[in-house]
Amino acid sequence: MDLNEALYTTRAMRRVKPDPIPEEAVKAMLDAAVRAPSGGNNQNWRFVTVTDPALKAALGDLYRDAWKILQNTVYKKAYERAEAVGDTQTMRIRSSSEWLAENFEVVPLWVFFFSRNDPTGASIFPGVWNMMLSARGLGIGTCLTTIAGFFKSDEVFEVLGVPTDKGWVNNAAISAGYPLGRWGTAKRRPANEVVFSERWGNRPDWTVDEPLWLEPENYGRS
């Protein structure tokens, strides 16, 4: 796959089929993950792949608890406002994230990422994202989630048997499966609206009116 196609069309793909992911694909995704840089090349990371139904059921309950906390706190006002003003894009995100919570066990593969000595996330997330881009190249949809590790960390450690005295942190859990939906370029705020030239507040001379990488049949979907 072309690099730009992957960069432009790797978006949250939450709704997936239950079909298992072949071992060769799992290896390729994780081999891509370890290619990413980390501070001082420390590679202070571990990745736990989860496919076992009993483990998925236990983690799914934690994920759903975390999801409910998120809905009732961080996202509460945003979703109320979206519903009030008819913001369909936000409501679609809510709906697909609800699907992922309700169907946690349907997702054939979850990969839990752990790191240590990485207070900013700069060392773990390039590897996480490499895995997700590699998956895209293999036609596998992924979604980056952080809520179980954020709201239910102790319980996640217990279920997966992670030592609690070695400094490990659960940074993310990535869902992976063959998508039910179609690939496409996600709608984003144009780059020129979030870039400043030289100093904060100075708009650049250029604009980006549509994604610079275009595949005609994909463009326009969101």
Nearer to its own copies, 64 or 131 (CB): 131
Distance CA 18, CA 108 (A): 5
Least distance to its own copies, CB of residue 13, Å: 10
Provide CB contacts within 8 A for 184, sequence distance 6+: 9, 11, 218, 219, 220, 221, 222
Polymer length in residues for the chain: 222
Least distance to its own copies, CB of residue 179, Å: 15
With b for 16 or more beta-carbon neighbours within 10 A and e for fewer, the 27-61 pattern comes to: ebbbebbeebebeeeeebbebbebeeeeebebbbe
Nearer to its own copies, 57 or 74 (CB): 74
Least distance to its own copies, CB of residue 222, Å: 10
Distance CA 80, CA 69 (A): 15
Least distance to its own copies, CB of residue 18, Å: 18
Distance CA 182, CA 141 (A): 10
Q: What pairs with residue 109 in β-bridges?
A: 176
Least distance to its own copies, CB of residue 20, Å: 14
Nearer to its own copies, 181 or 204 (CB): 204
- Tell me the DSSP string of 4-27: HHHHHH------B--PPPPHHHHH
Nearer to its own copies, 85 or 200 (CB): 200
Nearer to its own copies, 43 or 103 (CB): 43
